[in-house]
Each structure stands twice: as C-alpha cells, then as structure tokens.
Amino acid sequence: MSKLTMEELVAYCKQTGFVYQGSEIYGGLANSWDYGPLGVELKNNIKKAWWKRFVQENPYNIGLDSAILMNKEVWVASGHVGGFSDPLIDCKECNTRYRADKLIEEFTNGKETGDNWENERLLKFIYDNNIVCPNCGKLNYTEIRKFNLMFKTNQGVIEDAKNTVYLRPETAQGIFVNFKNAQRTSRRKVPFGICQVGKSFRNEITPGNFIFRTREFEQMELEFFCKPGTEIEWFKYWKDYCAKFLKDLGLKDEDVHLRDHEKDELSFYSNATTDIEFRFPWGFGELWGIASRTNYDLTQHQNHSKANLEYVDPDDNSRYIPYVVEPSVGVERLLLSIMFSSYDKEKLENDEREVLRLHPFLAPYKVAVFPLIKKYHSDKALEVYNMLSKDLMVTYDDAGNIGKRYRRMDAIGTPFCVTIDDDSLNNNTVTVRFRDSMEQVVVNINELTNFISEKVKF
C-alpha cells in the first residue's frame, strides 16, 4: 500500500521535476501534463525495459513504428468510427457530465463495471439503485448518448469530409494493417508478435486522477498472432509474462491482481480478457488489459481493404486468418503505479528520509558524483563524472553537506552516490554509497563504470 496520497504524489512530482502541469504559465490545459528532467528519463526507461523484455529478449516478437495519422478507412474497419464511444449522461439539476458506466463502477466499488452494457441497462441500473449525482445529490439525469472519443482533424488545406483524419486512439491498428508487411519482411512463421510503443489520443469524457486517464498518452502494445485453437494457451502465456514483468520492475504482489472479465463484460469478439489491476490510492484500477481478440481485427481489415490477410502455413499448407492475443498497457499508468509502489518514508534512528526505491534500471540518474570538499576535490570529481557519463546517466552535486546530498538523491531514486575525497587523489578510489541499504564500499575508479553498470541491468 502506498505511503502517499494522490495530492502528495502530484506535489512531489512537481517539486522534484518528474511531472508538471501542461501549459502552466498560461493557466494550464485541463488534463495535460509535461514530463520534467526526471520524468522523461523514467518514462524512457520504462519503455526501454518493456522493449527489452518484449522485443529484444522474447524469441517470438519483432518491433514496429507506424504513423499516428492513418487512412480513415482503418478506423471504419476497426469499428472505432461506429462504436468507439462512451455513454455520456448529464445531471439535469447541476449540468455535471458523467460516464454512465463509471458512475456505476464507482457506486458499486468496482463490483459492476458497466462495460459493454446497452444504454437502457445502464440507465435502469442507475435509477434502480438510486445512484444520485455525486455533485448535487439529485437523481435527475438526461438520456444516455454515445460520444465518440476520437479526435478528428483534416489533412491538407481544405476542410471537408474527404480529408478527415483521426489522431489514433490506440497503436494496435497500425500493427494490424502492417501484419503482412512485417510477417513477410521478417520471414516470421505464426506464432509471432509485433510490438509498438507510441502516442494515442482519446477525447475522454472524464479524464482525471492525475496521469491515470488523460487525453494524450502513450501505449506499449503487442499483437500476438497465433493459429486458431491455440489462442487460450498463448493468452495464459502472455498473462504470466506481463505479471512477471511487473514483478521484476518492483511492483509488489499485494498491490497487483488479475481480474478475469465475466462473460457479459467481454467484447463480442473476445473469448477471454483479463485486466491486470494495480492498487491505486482510490482502489484497484486497470493497469494492463490482456485480450484474446480471435480473428476479428484482421478479418475486418481484410473485408474492408480487400487485401488478402490470410496466412499460409508452410508446414501443412493450411490457410487461416491468425487469432490475436493483445496485451496493452499505458506508459503513464505504469509510471504512476511505479511511483506509488516505490515511494517510501523511512524512519531512521534520529531522522526520517524520503526514498524512491526504483529498480536501478528505471532510476532517472544511475549515479551521483559528489566532491567531498569543493575546493580540493572538484577536478577529480568532474573527471569521474565525465568518465561515467559515457555509459550512464550521471548527476553532479557539490552543494551542502554530504548527508543532505544523499537525502536529495534518495528522494529521486538515485541508486548510487560516489564521493570523491583525498583517497581518490592519492589511491584512485572512491566511496560508493547504496541508496537502499545506505551501506558504503570502496571501489577503484578504473572499475567504477563496470561496478555500477552491472548493478543497473534489467
């Protein structure tokens, strides 16, 4: 359980340089966030860890980077133009706007999610259960309307329906439309997967909870193509794989649980879906969606584009449209989970320290270099800084006493602090102090890069 409330985390992120309010000097833009010097490093490291585990180390997967703007027919085929909408409801008394399914989810503490319910069922549940407006306490709502979540714009100088383009609401469709290209050029046999990391945009009705639900976010998605009939086996494989990834990043077992979707909650094309949920301060919430999507997406694209998306199995010449298992996670939502689970306030003998126990691979700075006495040790410290910075993200701090410098680094998750003192000048050694145990060891400067590099691997 996190030691921080959401308000405390927002303040901490701003003060340390992880996340700022977007367009702040103009009064901000609702629900937009900018990532500061530490935030951009953490975000990049999360994406690197995911890419390493899902592309570099996994024998089945390859990578892709497709365009954000795509032919609008892609979104007709995928069902987003017709059906990517949220059920919108307004309170007639105070005009506050809600997502009807979220009203139900919050009222029932997550027991009912309202996912995939028809409007009539949502409205009936709200009235039957007397779910009053959280703002004014009245039970007087409008009908439920569907609100499409895609941001629409125009490509080129003329604004008309012919050149409408959408900002992609997920990266997945860029993978589906490249299925044949990627399979052919990489000479992959099914089963194999394609991974992509990139920005997605959704005009969410009720964004909020800091960076949990925003209108602009990044996704890390895998579309895994397999033979029909093997998808449930692969679905289990990827569930375990994702859960292990989170554990290896340092999320605690008690803060993570897997929730299988009930039959009436499944999308019509899915034969199994599980959410990996994280314990946020307001309760468990979806972190990672894993869905077995049958052959729905490729069939839709084959029908709409008229391109043949069948796979011919070279082993037995059978032809089929592959089934797909899709694990999809948001970078910012994972970052939020990591911040909540890493932050600690530790009682020391005569003191208390703020410490961000990030996995060293994720830490914005791997190492901080301190000259013990500025006047005497700065030249050598800069030499060590320059040496380390060839391989590692390093920071330098010569302000205040060493104890204060340690505290500053603990609070931003720097796993190693290196102090340069007289022994560095005389014996070419430094003191390395560990963030978590606060232990110190002496290391020769010639071995320092290797010593730290070994410890920050993922």
Least Cβ distance, residue 157 to ligand GAP (angstroms): 31
Q: Which is nearer to ligand GAP, 335 or 445 (CB)?
A: 335
d(CA 118, CA 112): 14
Least Cβ distance, residue 309 to ligand GAP (angstroms): 18
Report residue 355 as tokens: 């410490």
d(CA 207, CA 399): 40
Q: CA nearest 214: which of 282, 298, 264, 151? A: 151
Q: Show Cβ contacts of residue 35 under 8 Å, excluding neighbours closer than 6 positions.
A: 18, 19, 20, 42, 43
Q: Which is nearer to ligand GAP, 99 or 405 (CB)?
A: 99
Q: Which is nearer to ligand GAP, 12 or 201 (CB)?
A: 201
Least Cβ distance, residue 173 to ligand GAP (angstroms): 8
Q: Which residue is nearest to ligand GAP (CB)?
A: 330
Helix (H, G, I), strand (E, B) or coil at 453: helix
Q: Which is nearer to ligand GAP, 78 or 419 (CB)?
A: 78
Q: Which is nearer to ligand GAP, 177 or 372 (CB)?
A: 177
Q: Which is nearer to ligand GAP, 43 or 405 (CB)?
A: 43
Least Cβ distance, residue 317 to ligand GAP (angstroms): 32
Q: Show Cβ contacts of residue 179 under 8 Å, excluding neighbours closer than 6 positions.
A: 194, 223, 225, 298, 309, 322
Taking CA atoms, 332 is separated from 40, 45, 269, 391, in Å, by 11, 12, 28, 26
Q: Which is nearer to ligand GAP, 285 or 413 (CB)?
A: 285
Helices 331-342 and 6-16 pack at an angle, to 10 degrees, of: 100
Q: Which is nearer to ligand GAP, 204 or 398 (CB)?
A: 204
**How many other β-carbons are positioned within 10 Å of the β-carbon of residue 311?**
20
d(CA 3, CA 208): 20
User: Are 45 and 363 contacting, i.e. CB atoms less than 8 angstroms apart?
Assistant: yes
Least Cβ distance, residue 127 to ligand GAP (angstroms): 28
Least Cβ distance, residue 261 to ligand GAP (angstroms): 11
Least Cβ distance, residue 117 to ligand GAP (angstroms): 17
Least Cβ distance, residue 211 to ligand GAP (angstroms): 7
Report residue 326 as tokens: 């899709």
Peptide bond into 191 cis (omega under 30): yes
| Backbone torsions φ then ψ of 143, nearest 5 degrees | -65, 160
Helices (H), 327-397: 331-342, 374-389
Least Cβ distance, residue 293 to ligand GAP (angstroms): 9
Helix (H, G, I), strand (E, B) or coil at 51: helix
Q: Which is nearer to ligand GAP, 172 or 448 (CB)?
A: 172
Residues that bind ligand GAP (CB under 6 A): 170, 172, 202, 204, 213-214, 217, 219, 221, 286-289, 326, 328-330, 332-333
Rg value, the chain, Cα: 25
Report residue 226 as tokens: 């397999």
